[in-house]
């Protein structure tokens, strides 16, 4: 019923970029093939109890072998662009040093296949699959067990806690640009450093499974530095169309009390401003937090804040945040993650909203709010924006709820355009169902359904809806 009652979407600009997104660890599989090194997610998934359905990403959607079929699906969908990620351990198996030519060959074939299909390749250089060889620290406490919280500044460990990882990342970026730069125009350095810092190093829900709480902050700084060094490497190879994909959402205070407002403001700093301010304004949003960061931070900020050609935003939902409730019984928990007691804020459930199968509230107008607040906060320092991810988890090949979700978010996006925010494109997460990190295969974000037994791809109703929508838009 909702299908036929939808009024046509408002018209987007002629040159608006329509795309879909995926990431290497979530779709490729073939983790031991053609010289690929191990990733932090391979190691993490091996541990007991870390992935909800007990799965791992060894096969995933087998995209590594089926990429031709997947590119045909992209062509059928009619998108202008495909955002995928390059697997760092496929290119540099140990994270540093020797390059694996067979890894580069795969992306070479993929890029050629995309270009032949008339789809622009938009690689992300890093989407959370750190080479495990760089994670020299222990892989940390289990989710249940928690982990030790080392004293400030005394955190040992590798991965993004180590400054050298930024340099290794830039060297890898250079290697990829040298091979693909003749055919790739648009580059994305990192995906969501905020989530990797929070979930991977802060709360231990994601690889590498460390639960360092605020001692995870160096991982944020080193990712930002790695971004800046990679931008330099890409520019040296002639790149003129570089962005980053950051996770952002409005933070709503649970009430107007001072305590709730302060808690929400801190959450906003950690999720949004800690990443956007250094990139766009060349400074950290909070002196106290900046003081916890290692290295010559002032010099690093010059590298981090080099001008970007565009700014990517992954939007899923707003967060309602209040002060922790001292009277609460038992440890705080949110979205299935047990929260360390020392956190000075507490996310709350947003009531009275439809929810996706993941339990996330559906709040399309918060996308408009987010874009307006970015324009307000960053003004002329905000380059053109691309929505590099937006999507939802629903089961089924018939997925009217996904259509309703995407339709509502596109209207909200159009409202931001009408209000003058310079948004140039929109990418749906995701082309196909895939390995949803700690949730395993239980959450399905795809426009294309994957049967994980046969690996058969079946376009869902949302795929057909998006195809028709893009045709309508092109007719304009
Ligand atoms: C993205 O992260 C990732 O880039 C992508 O790889 C992933 O598959 C996709 O999203 C879907 O998860 O419990 O209501 O507060 C998204 C980051 C962080 C967004 C957690 C939603 C919490 C929802 N997400 N956030 S809620």
What pLDDT does 337 receive? 81
What pLDDT does 341 receive? 84
- Which of 389, 427, 431, 437 to probe ligand 1 with, by most ligand atoms within 8 A of CB? 389
CA–CA gap between residue 207 and residue 200 (Å, rounded)? 5
Question: pLDDT digit string (tens) for 230-263?
Answer: 999 999 999 999 999 999 999 999 999 999 999 9
Q: Which residues line ligand 1 (CB under 6 A)?
A: 23, 191-192, 195, 247, 314, 316-317, 319, 335, 347, 360, 389, 429, 436, 445
Sorted by sequence, the CB contacts under 8 Å of residue 407 that are 6+ apart come out as 6, 9, 465
Residue position matching structure tokens 């590099």: 388
Atom of ligand 1 nearest to the CA of 23: 6
**Contact between residue 158 and residue 63 where contact means Cβ atoms under 8 Å apart:** no
pLDDT < 70: residue spans in the chain:
1-6, 137-157, 329-330
Using alpha carbons, list the distances in angstroms from residue 79 to 73, 276, 437.
10, 28, 26
Does the complex come out with an ipTM higher than 0.90? Answer: yes
Among the listed residues 145, 244, 130, the one whose alpha carbon sits nearest the alpha carbon of residue 187: 244
Q: What string of DSSP letters covers 10-35?
A: PPPPTTPEEEEE--HHHH---TTSTT
Nearest CA to ligand 1 atom 19: 316
Ligand 1 geometric centre to CA of 316 (Å): 7
Among the listed residues 270, 275, 286, the one whose alpha carbon sits nearest the alpha carbon of residue 312: 275
Atom of ligand 1 nearest to the CA of 391: 11
Atom of ligand 1 nearest to the CA of 429: 9
Question: pLDDT digit string (tens) for 4-26?
Answer: 456 889 999 999 999 999 999 99
**Contact between residue 319 and residue 263 where contact means Cβ atoms under 8 Å apart:** no
- Which of 195, 394, 440 to probe ligand 1 with, by most ligand atoms within 8 A of CB? 195
| Strand ranges for 315-362 from DSSP E | 319-322, 333-334, 337-338, 346-348
The maximal CA–CA distance of the chain, rounded, in angstroms, is: 61
Say what percent of the chain tops pLDDT 70: 94
Ligand 1 geometric centre to CA of 334 (Å): 13
Q: Does the bond joining 450 to the residue before it have cis omega, within 30 degrees of 0? A: no
């Amino acid at each position: 019923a909702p299908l036929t009652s939808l009024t046509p979407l408002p018209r987007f600009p002629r040159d608006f970029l329509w795309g879909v997104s995926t990431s290497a660890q979530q779709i490729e599989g073939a983790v031991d093939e053609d010289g690929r090194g191990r990733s932090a997610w391979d190691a993490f998934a091996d541990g007991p109890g870390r992935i909800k359905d007990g799965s791992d990403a060894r096969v995933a959607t087998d995209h590594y072998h089926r990429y031709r079929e997947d590119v045909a699906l992209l062509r059928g969908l009619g998108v202008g662009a495909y955002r995928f990620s390059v697997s760092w351990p496929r290119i540099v198996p140990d994270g540093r040093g020797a390059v694996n030519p067979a890894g580069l060959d795969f992306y070479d074939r993929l890029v050629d296949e995309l270009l032949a299909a008339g789809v622009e390749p938009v690689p992300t250089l890093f989407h959370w699959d750190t080479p495990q060889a760089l994670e020299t620290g222990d892989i940390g406490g289990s989710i249940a067990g928690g982990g030790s919280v080392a004293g400030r500044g005394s955190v040992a460990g590798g991965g993004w806690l180590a400054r050298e990882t930024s340099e290794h990342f830039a060297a890898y970026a250079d290697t990829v640009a040298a091979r693909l730069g003749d055919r790739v125009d648009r580059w994305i350095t990192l995906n969501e450093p905020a989530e990797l810092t929070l979930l991977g190093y802060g709360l231990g829900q994601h690889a590498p499974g460390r639960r360092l709480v605020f001692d995870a902050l160096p991982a944020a700084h080193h990712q930002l530095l790695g971004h800046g060094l990679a931008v330099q490497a890409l520019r040296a190879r002639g790149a003129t169309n570089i962005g980053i994909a950051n996770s952002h959402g409005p933070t709503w205070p649970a009430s107007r009390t001072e305590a709730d407002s302060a808690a929400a403001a801190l959450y906003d700093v950690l999720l949004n401003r800690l990443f956007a301010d250094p990139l766009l304004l060349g400074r950290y949003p909070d002196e106290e937090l900046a003081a916890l960061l290692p290295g010559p931070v002032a010099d690093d900020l010059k590298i981090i804040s080099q001008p970007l050609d565009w700014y990517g935003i992954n939007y899923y939902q707003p967060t309602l945040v209040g002060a922790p409730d001292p009277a609460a019984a038992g440890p705080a928990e949110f979205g299935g993650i047990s929260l360390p007691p020392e956190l000075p804020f507490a996310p709350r459930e947003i009531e009275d909203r439809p929810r996706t199968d993941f339990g996330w509230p559906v709040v399309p107008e918060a996308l408009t709010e987010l874009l307006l607040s970015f324009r307000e906060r960053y003004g002329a320092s905000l380059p053109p924006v691309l929505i590099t991810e937006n999507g939802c988890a629903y089961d089924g090949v018939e997925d009217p709820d996904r259509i309703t979700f995407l339709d509502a978010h596109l209207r909200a996006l159009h409202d931001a355009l009408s209000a003058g925010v310079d948004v140039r494109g929109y990418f749906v997460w995701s082309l196909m169902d895939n390995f949803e990190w700690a949730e395993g295969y239980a959450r399905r974000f795809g426009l294309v359904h994957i049967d994980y037994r046969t690996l058969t791809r079946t376009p869902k109703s949302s795929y057909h809806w998006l195809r028709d929508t893009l045709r309508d838009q092109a007719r304009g």
